[in-house]
Amino acid sequence: MLNFHDVSVSYGNRTVLEHISFTLTPGRITVLLGSNGAGKSTLLRCVNGMQTYTGRIFLQDTDLKTMSSRERAKHIGILPQILPQTGFSCRTLVSLGRNPYTGTAGRLSVSDRNRVQMAMETAGTAEFADRHADTLSGGEKQKVFLAMLLAQDPSVMLFDEPCSFLDTAARGQVFSILRDLAYCHGKTVLLVLHDLSEALEIADDVLILAERTIVFSGSRTECLETEAVEKWFGVKRYFCTNGTDSRIFFR
């Protein structure tokens, strides 16, 4: 469980986030929505220690500020929106996910290697394990970094636009992995998504960030009932029915 308690972020005199409080629950997928520049990525940066903030973020009962980077990384993993360029092979890259558990020289044990292999297979990247990561397409690269996060195996997983470079089939695959992580492995999953229809499709819980704070926090059903998405994003809700399958989309 990850609990944000009255978190605020300012750059000089400019306040970016104000009095943010919410709780992420294990075994559920929470989607964080917000327009461009709302502060979603800033909020994620608070969690990995790259952003100074006031207030507190608790992992269970432990304040994140009191945890070492290594200890924090064993429990919380983040997949950023902008992935770094790297000269490493995919396997090497995925194996870096085991960093919180290895020594400073980064030597992997047999169980580390097994976990790396398993992560690559789960993310569907085993076939290009020995390829140079920067020769991959944007979508393939995104899957390799997902495999790295799976190898890291934290209990709280935060994803910033994990599907931005993926085609429809690959998006389905990634969502299926995320559901598996939350529902079968009890992971706490937070997704930052821009596609409102897609967000409402996968979300158990929804957070809407606007006007520097959380303006809506509730379950997917509550979000639909209160028309929170329509209100905060100025869109209309449509239903697309194909036989027995009915889907919501926003425009």
Report the interface residues with other proteins, using CB under 8 A: 45, 48-50, 68-74, 76-78, 80, 84-92, 96-97, 99-100, 102-107, 130-132, 134-135, 152
| Residue number, 160 or 208, with CB nearest to other proteins | 160
**Residue with token string 């920067």:** 134
Q: In angstroms, what is the minimal distance from the CB of 153 to other proteins?
A: 12
Q: In angstroms, what is the minimal distance from the CB of 13 to other proteins?
A: 18
| Residue number, 68 or 221, with CB nearest to other proteins | 68
| Residue number, 96 or 118, with CB nearest to other proteins | 96
Nearest Cα to Cα of residue 201 among 244, 251, 248, 250: 248
H helix or E strand, kind and range, residue 164: none
Helix (H, G, I), strand (E, B) or coil at 13: coil
Judging by DSSP bridges, how do beta strands 205-210 and 188-192 pair with one another? Answer: unpaired
| Residue number, 148 or 223, with CB nearest to other proteins | 148
Q: In angstroms, what is the minimal distance from the CB of 46 to other proteins?
A: 11
Q: In angstroms, what is the minimal distance from the CB of 93 to other proteins?
A: 8
Q: In angstroms, what is the minimal distance from the CB of 211 to other proteins?
A: 26
Nearest Cα to Cα of residue 159 among 112, 123, 115, 116: 123
Helix (H, G, I), strand (E, B) or coil at 15: strand
Q: In angstroms, what is the minimal distance from the CB of 217 to other proteins?
A: 24
| Residue number, 12 or 103, with CB nearest to other proteins | 103
| Residue number, 103 or 234, with CB nearest to other proteins | 103
| Residue number, 135 or 176, with CB nearest to other proteins | 135
Q: Over the range 19-51, which residues count as b (16 or more CB within 10 Å of their CB) and which as e?
A: ebebebeeebbbbbbbeeebbbbbbbbbbbeeb
Between helix 110-123 and helix 138-152 the angle, nearest 10°, is 140
Q: Using the 8-state DSSP alphabet, how is residue 42 labeled?
A: H
**Residue with token string 């636009």:** 161
Q: How far apart are CA 119 and CA 153, in angstroms?
A: 9
Q: How far apart are CA 237 and CA 175, in angstroms?
A: 22
Judging by DSSP bridges, how do beta strands 156-160 and 188-192 pair with one another? Answer: parallel
Q: Give 49-52 contacts, CB < 8 A, sequence gap 24+.
A: 51/9, 52/9
Q: In angstroms, what is the minimal distance from the CB of 156 to other proteins?
A: 11
